[in-house]
Each structure stands twice: as structure tokens, then as C-alpha cells.
Structure 1
Amino acid sequence: MKRFLTILLATLALSAALCVSASASSFDGAARELSTIGMLKGTADGFDLDKAPTRAQAAIMLVRLYGAEERAQGLYSSGRITCPFADVNETAAPYVAWLVDEGLANGITETSFGAAEPCTAKAYTIFLLRALGYQDKEDFTTANAQEFAQSLGLLDTSALTGTFLRDDLVALTYQALGTDMKDGKMYLLEHLIEDCELDVSGARTLTKKIEYYRDINSASSALREGVSAKINLNMEMDVSRIAPGDTQPSGEIERVALACGGDVKLAMKRYPEMALDLTMKADGQEENVKLWLKGDWVYAQTGEASVKMETGEEIWKLLEDSAQKEAGASLLPFVADISKQASGDEAVYTMDMNDAYESLVKDITAQVLEANHVSGSAGGEMDMKGFTIRYTVKGGTLKSVSADTALSMKIDGGEAEGTVMAGMSMDMKMDILSSGSAVKISFPDFSDFEEVIGGADGPTGISGILAS
């Protein structure tokens, strides 16, 4: 039980602090908001988010992102532009004709646009980069377009190895609306309102959300260079179990209080460095865990155990990607609403997350449990009752972040633990002591740390020590 609770605690702490760039479905909320500003048209059956967008549908969206829908239709109706492709219907013809006339799209042959063929993630990413003012060969190439888009804070479409869906198109489009144009003078939605033909009244709610979101990003920008903070996480849980071989709970409910608190430091220099000093309390026991990242090694210390292991390429890539890419609008499609309360030079932004975020947390939880050899599908049987994040900004600088949620889970713990059912509430707070390049980390003497045998899960593995 302790191992399960410790894993769950760490997982939810990670999820609460997440800045995501991964896809999660379904982005129904984002689709509805795009519909209110005329970007996305639904049908009697909804927005068909589980279907692949065609090249013709992507062309229509692109013209709208240029703010040129009325212009394209007018030019086409007057005969000043024509569509050279036989496979494009009259609905899409004005859009494709305008894109071809502007040199923004080509057909797959001289007479075919491939209108009914699915649009790929890479192709739509390139469309978006062009709408943001970036140019092929000058700013990006076909080969690095997805990587370049990710550096701007857009969805990492290179991770979409399956079919590119309308759901993914919605998330990317929504992010793009909150992303700066190449010249840096405006973000895309602002540009569409100021310079194009987008209806201002329909966009007002989304504009406010984006601007509050950008305020939070601006106040948090120094954290990408370094951060020193105190964190505190508390969870209260009612846990019941179905013993192996049984079909019903025993009726006994175990009330558990979990807590994790301590100091966190991260310095993003030429080589990222990190130091964690956390005290974890669970099942009436208290355990201090210290973790450091220095050079090519991760060091961990708890109780009498002191171990080290080589980092490998994965952790370096994760940290370097976090440092190099802009925060951008990556989290926007997961946000239901943002409100602001200001007093003097202090403002508190309250961000309520939507169902897409719940889906993301389910996926992360399932992956972490699987990695820690806990069987079953946690994400499939998790119900989150709201997730709220609060950012306190003073003088334009982020001072604290807090989050709270309530959820229930049902997890198959395997033959040893049976099925674990938990109802819980969680709150987390991070008080930022300093940020930016001024953050410095002092390291202890690691000469007596024992090298891990057999990897992270081996006899002296870090994972085993932290979760045992």
C-alpha cells in the first residue's frame, strides 16, 4: 500500500505542475470556442473531432486564420481568382483558389489538390507557421517544421504517430491564436481582430482568456532560466480494497493523509542542474528524500541509502527542451476559463482546467503506474472533479502557484494488493523564493554514493529506493 500511495502522490504532484505540449482528446471546449468566432463549423452530429481532416478542410481553416474568408469568397465570386483543381467542390473552391493565388498551397498534381485526402500533422503545422508570418526555407524547412513549431510553444505534432485528427487540428489552431506573429507585434487572434475581418464581439471572451494566459507566461518567463522554491502538497484519501480473489470491497475504509514538502532548485545553465530536498509522509511514516542532477549523473539519498545513476539521453532532452522552447500557448486548449483579481501591483489569476486536461492526467497516471509495475488501467477509471490552478503575480513577477482538485480512482494493484479504490482531495502550493540566472545550487560530496546496479529498477535502483 505504501508503494502505491507514494507513486500516486508523486504522479499527482507532477500533473499539478504540468506545462503540457502533448495531445489529449477530446478538445470539445476549444472546438466550441473556435466555433463562436467562425473558425470551425460543426454538423448536426457535432464537430467530428474523431475524424481525420481532409486537405480541403485544412485549406478552409487556413484561409480563416489569415482573416481572408470574405475576401477569398468575393474574389472567387467575381471571377478574379479561379480554382485549377478538378477534385475541389464549390464549398472549398474559393479557399483553395485564394491559397493558390497567394502562393500558400499547391496541388498534388497540376489538376488535383488531393481535396479528399487526409491532411497530415506536418502539413497542417506548415500551414500554421505560414499564417503566423514564417516563411519556408527562410525560417524553417519541411524537415524541421514540427520541431520549429514546438519551439514556439505549439503542439509537438511529431509525437502524433497515429492519424492526425480534427481534434489535433483544433488544439493546434487554438494554440496558434494565442501565439505571437513573427514580427512580435501581436498574437494571431489580436492580428485577426486588428488587421483582418474577424468579428470582435464573438472573439472578446477568447481574447480575454488569451491575454490573461499571456500575463501568466510573462510573469513566469524567468523560471525557464532557474527557480528556487518551497513546495507543499497535501492529500487526504479514503482507501478501500477488494482482496485478490474477491469481487466486493471488504467494507473497511482506510483514511490516509499524505504530505510532501521541501525545497526545489533548478538552474538551466549550459548543463541543467537540480536539487530536491523533500520530506514525504504517508501511512504514519516520514521519509526524507534528496535528489540531485549534476553533470551526467542523478544522485539520490534516503535513509541510509545513497545511490547514483547515469542520466541517459531522455532526461537531458526533456530538460533542454523545457529550457529552449517558449512557454507559448501550449496549455491554452486545456483551459476552461481564467479570471483575474487585482489589488495594487498584485494580481491573482485563477485558471480552471477542462475535460481535456482530465484526460491528460489520466494518461500520465496510467503511464507512471505502468512504469512502476502497477497493473491495470488507472486512467480509464479516474474521475476528476475539477482542477484549479492559481497564480499570484506581484510587480509583474510570479510569486506563487497553487492547485487543488478532488478525484476518485480504481486501480488494479495486481495479485499482491488486489484492487485499490481511492477517493481523494489534493492541494499543492509552490512559493517562489527566486528565479532566473541568479539561482545557484550547492552540491554535497558524492564520492560515497553507490552506482546503481541493473538500472533504475535494479537492486540498488533509484526507483526502488524511492518507492519501496
Structure 2
Amino acid sequence: MKRILTILAATLLLTAAMAGTASASSYDSVAEELSAIGVFRGTAGGFELDRAPTRSEAAIMLVRLYGAEDEAKAAYEAGEISMPFTDVSETAAPSVAWLYSQGITNGTSATTFGASSPCSAKMYCAFLLRALGYEDGVDFLYADTLDFAMLHGLFNLSMLDAAPFLRDDLAAVTYQALGADLKDGSTYLLASLVESGAIDAEAARPITEKIEAYRALTAASQASSTGIDADYTMNMGMDIAVDGSDGTETIHETMSVAVSGNGRIQMILKDPLQLAISMNMNMESNTAGAGPDVTMQDQVSVQEWMQDGWVYIQEEMDGTTDRYKYPVGNMDGFAEFYQEMLQISGQMNSMMLPMIDSIDVSRTGSRTVYTMKMDDSLNSLLEDLLTALQEELAAMESPVDLTADLQSCTYVYTVGSDGELESCTADFDLDLVLGLPVTETENAQITAKLQMDMQMDVNATGDDVRISYPSFSNFEDLTPVLSGGEL
């Protein structure tokens, strides 16, 4: 039980350190915000976020992002532009006709636009890139649209696999596009639409303030996208239940745990990924199960390293020291992808926007404090990442069943007068279910409710981060255990 708890705590700490770095789905609040500025409109059935957008709907959205909706309607009604396609509704006709007249879009044939056909992620991202001033065939090839879009801050998990591109995803990448820089670098898209009068400045104020705050914050945090060295303190409360069998008897235990600790996190987010975490923890636990209730207090020291596709853990508890290691797959590829995502987020100032509920900015002396609350869409990202992790572990014959439900998440960043990140705090509530092999045929399920707050004080970022590793020659290989042996 203690070893399981230690591994769980280490995993949660790593999750907290890496949280909030990508995209998600279920963007109801984003659709509401886009609706408030007239960019995204629902139907008689509401926003209908769970269905694919049509080519006509994408065309209407694109014209709005060009700030040309009124121009298109006036030109169409005056007969200055005409509709060459027979399958476009009167509602979409001004937008499609305007786009066609500008050479921005074509039909599926000389007489059809494919108006009711689904709009793909590639197609819509190509539209967004054109609204930002890029030209396919000049700045990017249509076949490479998604790669080019990701390099400019437009990213959604629907762009990575064969999953359908839904109106939900369309709302998310549209929101990202509003915060993305125009090709000429003069400003970002929403600011240009407000300046031109296409979007009302007062209506856009909540989104504008969020974008401005996030751009300032990511500029201050950009160096940490390639590496960070920080001291941390943490407080964590967990209610844990373990159910299963070891092959001879049923396991049912409950535990209430209070953990406080401190340590250091070092990450070099380059290829290959490097990691070092030290944890000094004080744990007080109350356990109830088949036998008498037990109250225990433990002091635990854990060090964890990640290098060359392996995780190494050294654990000191009850006067004994355990050292073990296990493989984590192709970490080089993961490091490259993860670092690229962080770089994009830092450079383009738009990728995280759909997952942010609010950012409040205040001043403390010469320092600027950003309080960022995440919304429910972060849960979808967590689910997708855990699914990918489980598939990777299953392929390595190291099955782990892991599900999580993030109840709340708030970050507070402090930026110094020099514009560099000085500290960050994270406060979140998480429900976690972890299935682990106990024997070759038996599993245990761990259910945990977690409340955690952590503060990191930054020592170094970027190329200034250095990690020293011990010799790993005497670390026990847990690969046979994770493949079905006894834990």
C-alpha cells in the first residue's frame, strides 16, 4: 500500500507540473463568448456543438472573420456579386458569393458548392489561415494545412486523428484564431476586427482583455517552454479506497491521507526529454480495512528521474531505501511533441485560450500577478491524454487503467519587474481511479479524491537549466512486475 501511494503521489506531482499545456473539447462557454460578438450563431436547435459543421456554415464564419459580413450582404443584394452554385441556401448565399468573388473558396464542381457536406478540420483551418493573411500555395500547401495551422497557434485534438471535426471543435479553433497574430505581425485578429469596426469594441472587451492578459503572461513564461528549475512546496489531501484481490483474499481498504512536502522540479523539455523531481513528504494516514483501524505518520523522501525512456525512482521510508525503474516508451518522440506544443503556445499566444475561464491581473509592488481559472474543457484534454497513455502502456504489455475527473483548477503566476516568471501556484481538485496489476491474474482498483495546492519558485528557465544524474546501475527493473508479476 505504501509503495502504491508513493507512486501515486509522484504521478500526481508530475501531472500538476505539466498541467495546462494543450487543447481540449466541450467548448460551450467558448460558443457563448463567440455568440456575444456575433461570430458564432446557433440554430433553432441551439449551438448544436455535437454535430459536424457544413461547408456553408464554415463559409459564413469565415466571412465574419474577414469583417466582411455587411459588405457581402450589401454587394449580393445589389447584384455586384452573384452565386454560381445551385446548392447554396439564401442564408449562406451572400457569404459564399463573396468568398468566391474574392478567390478565397471554390465549389466542388462548376455548379455545386457542397453546401451541406461536412467541413473538415483541414478545410476550416485553411479558411482561418486565409483570414489571418496567409495564402495556400504561397505560405503553405493545402496538404500541409494542419501542420502549418499548429505552428501558428491553431490546435485541437480533432486535428491529430480521424475523429470527426464538430462545431464544438470549430468554436475552439475560431477562438484561438481571434488571439493569433496576423501574417504581417501588426496585431492579432480580434484587435484588427475591432479596429475595422467589424466587431463592436465593447462587446469584445471580455475576450480582448483575456487575450491581452494571456499574451503578456505567455511572453513572461516563454523561456520555461524549453526548461524549468523550481523549488516547490505542496499540501495535499486524499481520500483513497482500494478494492481488489491478491488471488487468495479480497482487498478492501480505505485511507485518509494528509501530505505536506517540499522539493525541487527540473525539466529540460527538449529532445531527449529530461526530468528530475525530489520530494520530501510528511504523511499522516488513517487506514481502515479487514483488520483494526491504523493511524500512521511517515516521513518519505522520493527522488524521480526520467532519462532515455526510463523512469527511475529512489524511495526512502521507514529507514529503508528502495530503488526501481520502469520504461516509459518512446520519450524522445513525446519530448519533441510536448516541447513543440509549449513553444507554439508561448509564441502564438492563442492555443490555451479556449480552456481559460478567466484571467485577473493585479499589481503587487513592482510585480504583476495573473490569476488564471481553467474551465471544464480541461477535463476532455485529460481524458484524451490518459487514453493515449494507456494505449502506449498496453502496447508495452504494461497495462494500467487510469481515469480522472478534474473538478477545479486555478493558477496564479507572479512576474517580476524584469518581465520574467518568478513563481507559480496551482490549486486543484481531482478525482482519480487507478487500476494496477497485483498478481498475474488479479488487479486492484484505487479510487482517490484529491485536493492539492502547490507553489513553485523559479530558479532557472530555458538553457540555464542543468540536471545532474546519479548512477542507475543498482535500480531494480520493474518491467516484469508491470507485465503481470507480483508488486
Q: TM-score range by the shorter chain?
A: 0.7 to 0.9
- Contact 1:7-1:369 at 8 Å conserved across structures: no
Does residue 403 (structure 1) correspond to residue 408 (structure 2)? The answer is no
For structure 1, the residue ranges without an aligned partner over 5 or more in a row are none
Alignment of 1:42-441 (within 5 A): 42-156=42-156, 157-241=158-242, 253-258=254-259, 261-267=262-268, 271-272=271-272, 274-279=274-279, 281=281, 284=298, 286-293=300-307, 298=310, 300-302=312-314, 303=321, 305=323, 313-322=332-341, 324-327=343-346, 328-365=349-386, 368=389, 371=393, 373-375=399-401, 378-379=403-404, 382=405, 384-395=406-417, 396-409=419-432, 416=442, 419-441=445-467
Q: Decide which structure has greater strand share.
A: 2
- Contact 1:154-1:329 at 8 Å conserved across structures: yes
Separation of aligned partners in 2, 1:112 and 1:195 = 33
Separation of aligned partners in 1, 2:24 and 2:380 = 10
Report the Cα offset of residue 129 of structure 1.
0.9
Report the Cα offset of residue 242 of structure 1.
5.2
- Contact 1:56-1:92 at 8 Å conserved across structures: yes
Separation of aligned partners in 2, 1:126 and 1:450 = 53
- Contact 2:238-2:448 at 8 Å conserved across structures: yes
SS state at 1:300 partner: strand
Separation of aligned partners in 2, 1:451 and 1:109 = 65
- Contact 2:371-2:410 at 8 Å conserved across structures: yes
Q: 1:8 to 1:100 in 2, by over 3 A?
A: farther
TM normalised by structure 2 equals: 0.82
* Residue equivalent to 2:473: 449
For structure 2, the residue ranges without an aligned partner over 5 or more in a row are 286-297, 315-320
Letter of the 1:394 partner, please give it: G
- Shifted more, 118-127 versus 279-288: the winner is 279-288
* Residue equivalent to 2:290: none
Letter of the 2:168 partner, please give it: D
SS state at 1:378 partner: strand
Q: 1:7 to 1:116 in 2, by over 3 A?
A: farther
Q: 1:389 to 1:228 in 2, by over 3 A?
A: same
Letter of the 2:208 partner, please give it: T
- Shifted more, 55-64 versus 350-359: the winner is 350-359
- Contact 1:262-1:276 at 8 Å conserved across structures: no
- Contact 2:273-2:335 at 8 Å conserved across structures: no
Separation of aligned partners in 2, 1:413 and 1:233 = 26
Separation of aligned partners in 2, 1:97 and 1:123 = 18
TM normalised by structure 1 equals: 0.85
Separation of aligned partners in 2, 1:47 and 1:6 = 45
How many residue pairs were aligned? 450
SS state at 1:437 partner: helix
- Contact 2:324-2:476 at 8 Å conserved across structures: no
Q: 1:69 to 1:361 in 2, by over 3 A?
A: same
CA displacement 1:344-389 (0-9 Å, x = unmatched): 32111111111111333344456556746344x734xx3x442111
Report the Cα offset of residue 300 of structure 1.
2.5
- Contact 1:308-1:450 at 8 Å conserved across structures: no
Report the Cα offset of residue 11 of structure 1.
4.6
Aligned Cα root-mean-square deviation (Å): 3.3
Separation of aligned partners in 1, 2:455 and 2:238 = 18
- % identical aligned pairs: 39
Report the Cα offset of residue 80 of structure 1.
0.4
Letter of the 1:305 partner, please give it: R
Separation of aligned partners in 2, 1:71 and 1:458 = 65
CA displacement 1:69-117 (0-9 Å, x = unmatched): 1111111111101111100010000000111111111111111110000
Letter of the 1:27 partner, please give it: Y
- Contact 1:261-1:280 at 8 Å conserved across structures: yes
